[in-house]
Amino acid sequence: MRMRARLIHSLTTVLLTVLVGGLIAAALVRRSPGFGVDEREFDARYGQDSIRHIREEAKPSGGGALPDYLRFLVRAATGDLGTSASFHRPVAALIAERFPATMRSAGAGLALGWTAGMLLALAAAGLSRPAFDLGAGAAAAFFLCLPSSVLALAMVLAGRLGGKTAVAVVIALVIFPRVFRYARAILGRIAAAPHVLMARARGVRPWRLLWAHLIRPSAPAILALLGVSVSVAFGAAIPVEVLCDSPGLGQLAWQAALKRDLPLLVDITLLVSLVAGIAGMAADIARSAPAVEPS
């Protein structure tokens, strides 16, 4: 019963977050400078009648952001996500083309960053060497202080990696320090527990000690970290794809923002909010799972 109530609360939170995020995006785009202005108006080849017709097409409705957003939600419920004003194509088709590239880059970066962060955290907790712990912590702190845009720019200047590969590497560098610091804190606290010290004193094999007394008891917290990491990786992929020239959702969102493409921007915002909300919900459920007692 308690788990059902938590699940309903999480689903409600995700739904409200997605809806409010889309409304805020719609309001901001409508308030942005130049909204409702078509670049073709500055083309000297068009006559006054053509420009008047273009202005009528680009003229925003007078109902305001909320009524327009509600009408959009009604259409979206039937599967109609609208038509891109800049690409003149269905938004659903544009997102379907770009979303797999973003997922592959985010997934590869997430796997790489998680592998590096967890291995270093396990090594630091298992070895208990102050020098190693200090060096790994300093490396994590260094990358934690660097914005993802700076890392992406460094990849571009290096010029040795392709667009999708560069995005994956940058995401890994964003994920790695967060995973290491959080996992190191969890594993370090468990490693200092009396039962772990007793197991060390009794000569329990290192691999059994690592699995039974460190990894298994920390599994719920680690899984919760994984859910948060998915949200961070997907959010970081959006701006990084622009700088690394990777054909994903980030590049599509940037082009839509430059052209103030309201339908496309709102749909991308809803998608990003949905992914972040589901990842956060999964992290909350994993965090509330009972801890595994060491054997």
Angle, CA of 233, 228 and 251, to the nearest 5°: 25
Q: Which two tokens stand for residue 209?
A: 């000690």
Highest-pLDDT range among 41-55, 78-92, 142-156, 164-178: 164-178
Angle, CA of 278, 286 and 122, to the nearest 5°: 115
Q: Residue 55 has what pLDDT? A: 62
Q: How many CA atoms lie within 13 A of 171 on its CB side?
A: 33
pLDDT in tens, 190-213: 777 776 777 667 777 766 767 766
pTM of the model: 0.74
Higher pLDDT, 89 or 44: 89
Q: Residue 256 has what pLDDT? A: 85
Instruction: Give the Cα separation of 160 and 224 in Å (integer).
Output: 35
Higher pLDDT, 216 or 269: 269
pLDDT in tens, 166-191: 888 899 999 999 888 888 888 777 77
Q: Which residues lie below 8 Å from residue 250, measured CB to CB, with a gap of 6+?
A: 102, 237, 238, 239, 240, 241, 242
For residues 33, 38, 41, 42, the Cα torsion angle rounded to the nearest 10 degrees is 60
Higher pLDDT, 89 or 38: 89
Higher pLDDT, 177 or 277: 177
Highest-pLDDT range among 23-37, 218-232, 233-247: 233-247
Q: Which domains does the chain have, with CATH numbers?
A: 2-35+81-287 (1.10.3720.10)
pLDDT in tens, 93-150: 888 888 888 888 888 999 999 888 888 888 887 666 778 878 888 888 888 888 888 8
The answer on pLDDT for 229 being more than 70 is: yes
Instruction: Give the Cα separation of 154 and 162 in Å (integer).
Output: 13
Q: Residue 112 has what pLDDT? A: 92
The answer on pLDDT for 58 being more than 70 is: no
